Amino acid sequence: MIVLMISLVVLLSVISALFFDVFNALSAAMHSLEFRLLRLSVWLPTGICYAFFYASRYNVAAGNVESVTDTLGFTSMQFATVITAGFWTYAITAPVTGMISDKLGGRAGLLISSVGAGLSNLALGFAFKDLNTSSANMFYVFICLYSLNIMFQGFGTSAVVKVNAGWYTPLERGVFSGIYNVLLTSGYYMALGGCPVVVSTIGWSYVFLIPGAMLLVSAVAMFLLLKESPDEYYKSLVKLGEEGDEEAPLLNPVPKNKKSSGSQSYTDVPNHSPSDQNPRAATTTTTSSSSFDQSLSVMGLLQNTTFICYLISIMCLCWVRDGLITWIYSYLESSRGAALSSDTTAMIGGSITLGGFLGGVLCGVISDYVFKGNRSKPILLFSFFQMISLGLTYYVVGLGSENDLLVAFLVFLTATFMLGNYTLLSYTIPTDLPAPVVATAAGIMTAAGYVASGLAGLGMGKLIEIYSWGGWFGSLEVATALGSLAIYIGSVLAARAKRKQDEGGGEASSSVRFQAPLEDPFPDNATTGLQSKLRGVDQRSSDKLDLLAFVMIGGDAAVFSPEANQMSVKMSGIQDEFLRRRVGEDGFFLWDGNGTVGERNGIGARQ
């Protein structure tokens, strides 16, 4: 009964996430309903596919209990060795699969990944059905097929970032990463909550046969529905250059000789830029450019100090994530001195899953709407609470508590902060990079993470043998602290380098100055298109007071000033950035609302 209830909660959470993706106020203000439904149909099959990647990746962790190891004739250390072999295969191959996905495209990468991983899981399931082989031989078959399964999943990891980056603007990506994470982390529940039930009812081999079959079904769905970008549907869509957050850049800037437009995303708004409406407004300007060179190679990424800090941070976080997921059941069994029931494993698996749901969305929302797109601050905040929740979980479970609800709640809190951090660090940060290196950067970050994940299998097992469970807990806390420190150092280095670049002037400057008076860019006959769209957005956000749409502080959204023959705008936060990205740099000038040059860019339409 408990298993059924938790499964229902997980299913309702997934459905709610899909609904929110289509109807949240921010996306509704930016895109038509047709476009939002269209991109849902594009990414939904990829999310289902990735959920079964997780199910076929962490099902081995669900087998790391006495009931399974005794049946198969394996030890816990042998299971840990299989996990380590698979994760290190992932680490070694992820940069290569990332570059292949860059070359072939996200769609091809996902199809290769789903078919390859599906067939590997089916082969593994049928191998376990044949128990005539000796345990020693089966152990090596287990390692080889599981590693092959994980290797193919690497194509999908990089490809899914590349595909989704083309459908969501930077303003939407923080929240979307949380929404997408809801679907992805349902795979945790399939593995950690569902697999123990599958083992006790129909047998160990089906924890591979079921995900394998579903991955092949997902491959068919993606073959029919998946498209790389909106270009394949709407040739007239406006492409917007996406520059990194100017106040909290992702990477320290790289000098370059030509302007870089950044990665591309799309919106379905007619293009009526001020320079189109008024050719005389197209005067000489100094424009901002991307703080990241698109031509940056793999070696260039690895020489970037901020990116190195992110790699260290994700390694620490993966040590914590996989160290907890792989060994939490064993810790519970050891503390209680008895095998866990299916209800207990379902509650723990459900807690990790639901914590991932909440953490991914919450960390994305906080990043986008509280910290204005800054990625490091919410990670630091969540890391602090992660350390506290880890300590509480270790203490309560160590007392041998039989209260499943209390233990599940503490695991839920830990998973919320831990997986919220992981979602933002591993998904959102790569998508904020320029398109030519998105998949490659994701592949490198994945490789670094899974080096640590592999150590969390065999290495953590050795640590537990030597220092008992105190060593396990201590390593999780130390890794959390080191990951936080790396993020902090990386953000400081990036901000410092960006300030130096801005102070140097030239192309790096973010100022946009018109040298001639700007005439009304929206003449009386331009009452539709962009002007109408922007006015509708302004009115909608101020009327509904919806923080998920746009934050507006002070004054009218757009006031035309005929005395100055310019426009003045009082805006802040998301709305400011939204309009800047939508209209383009040429429609901006420095203005402080008092008739003098100020620090905030703005654009407005005649009221």
Domains and CATH numbers, the chain: 2-230+296-498 (1.20.1250.20), 512-607 (no CATH)
Comparing 491 with 157, the larger pLDDT belongs to: 491
Amino acid identity at 75 = T
User: Which stretches of 366-403 are DSSP H helices?
Assistant: 376-398
Beta carbons of 164 and 431 less than 8 angstroms apart = yes
- pLDDT value at position 4? 84
- pLDDT value at position 302? 76
SS3 561: strand
Average pLDDT of the residues in 369-373: 74
Range among 372-386, 460-474, 492-506, 508-522 with highest mean pLDDT value: 460-474
H, E, C per residue of 134-175: CHHHHHHHHHHHHHHHHHHHHHHHHHHHHHHHCCCCHHHHHH
Which of 603, 420, 451 is CA-nearest to residue 518? 603
The CA distances from residue 28 to 18, 172, 347, in Å, are 14, 11, 36
Average pLDDT of the residues in 248-275: 42
Comparing 357 with 389, the larger pLDDT belongs to: 389
What confidence tier does 132 reach under pLDDT thresholds 50, 70, 90? low
Determine the Cα–Cα distance for residues 161 and 443; give it in Å rounded to an integer: 10
Determine the Cα–Cα distance for residues 447 and 178; give it in Å rounded to an integer: 22
What average pLDDT does the chain have? 71
- Which conformational region is residue 10 in: left (phi greater than 0), alpha (psi within -120 to 50 degrees), or beta? alpha
Paired residues of 566 in beta bridges? 561
Beta carbons of 96 and 200 less than 8 angstroms apart = no
Which of 216, 157, 154, 219 is CA-nearest to residue 184? 157
Q: Return the exposure string of 455-491: e unless at least 16 CB atoms fall within 10 Å of the residue's CB, then b.
A: bbbbbbbebbeeeebeebbebbbebbebbbbbbbbbb
Comparing 531 with 228, the larger pLDDT belongs to: 228
Beta carbons of 425 and 379 less than 8 angstroms apart = yes
Amino acid identity at 251 = L
Checking if the pLDDT of 464 tops 80, the result is: yes
- Which conformational region is residue 234 in: left (phi greater than 0), alpha (psi within -120 to 50 degrees), or beta? beta
Checking if the pLDDT of 589 tops 50, the result is: no
| Count of C-beta atoms within a 10 Å radius of residue 36 | 18
Beta carbons of 250 and 174 less than 8 angstroms apart = no
- pLDDT value at position 210? 94
Amino acid identity at 98 = G
pLDDT tens string 376-387 = 888 899 999 999
Question: Can you say how many angstroms the Cα of residue 379 is from the centroid of all Cα atoms in its chain?
Answer: 13
Query: In this structure, what token pair is assigned to residue 329?
Result: 């059941």
The count of C-alpha atoms lying within 13 angstroms of the C-alpha of 458, restricted to the half-sphere facing its C-beta, is 12
- pLDDT value at position 145? 95
pLDDT tens string 561-577 = 333 333 333 333 333 44
Q: Among 81-90, 285-294, 335-344, 538-547, where is mean pLDDT lowest? A: 538-547
Average pLDDT of the residues in 64-72: 73
- pLDDT value at position 149? 95
- pLDDT value at position 15? 92
Comparing 446 with 204, the larger pLDDT belongs to: 204
What percent helix, strand, coil does the chain show, rounded to 5? 70, 5, 25
Checking if the pLDDT of 292 tops 60, the result is: no
What confidence tier does 330 reach under pLDDT thresholds 50, 70, 90? confident
Query: In this structure, what token pair is assigned to residue 525?
Result: 């006959």
- pLDDT value at position 385? 95
Checking if the pLDDT of 522 tops 60, the result is: no
- pLDDT value at position 365? 79
Average pLDDT of the residues in 111-116: 94
- Cα dihedral 73, 76, 78, 83 sign: positive
What confidence tier does 430 reach under pLDDT thresholds 50, 70, 90? low
126: Cβ contacts below 8 Å, ≥ 6 apart: 205, 209
Query: In this structure, what token pair is assigned to residue 46?
Result: 């990829």
Checking if the pLDDT of 388 tops 90, the result is: yes
- pLDDT value at position 607? 33
Checking if the pLDDT of 336 tops 60, the result is: yes
Beta carbons of 365 and 175 less than 8 angstroms apart = yes
Average pLDDT of the residues in 482-489: 91
Mode of pairing for the β-strands spanning 601-602 and 589-590:
antiparallel
Checking if the pLDDT of 390 tops 80, the result is: yes
Determine the Cα–Cα distance for residues 454 and 512; give it in Å rounded to an integer: 49
Average pLDDT of the residues in 46-60: 89
Q: Give 345-356 as a DSSP string.
A: HHHHHHHHHHHH
Average pLDDT of the residues in 437-451: 75
- pLDDT value at position 272? 37
- pLDDT value at position 258? 40
pLDDT tens string 161-205 = 767 767 777 777 767 877 887 888 888 888 888 888 888 888 888
Which of 596, 593, 601, 588 is CA-nearest to residue 285? 588
- Matching residue, tokens 């209209």: 583
- pLDDT value at position 573? 33
SS3 99: helix
What confidence tier does 275 reach under pLDDT thresholds 50, 70, 90? very low
Q: Among 93-107, 221-235, 290-304, 482-496, where is mean pLDDT lowest? A: 290-304
Q: Among 3-17, 266-280, 422-436, where is mean pLDDT lowest? A: 266-280
Comparing 552 with 177, the larger pLDDT belongs to: 177
- pLDDT value at position 296? 52
Which of 387, 448, 272, 342 is CA-nearest to residue 4? 342
Mode of pairing for the β-strands spanning 601-602 and 559-561:
unpaired
| pTM passes above 0.75 | no
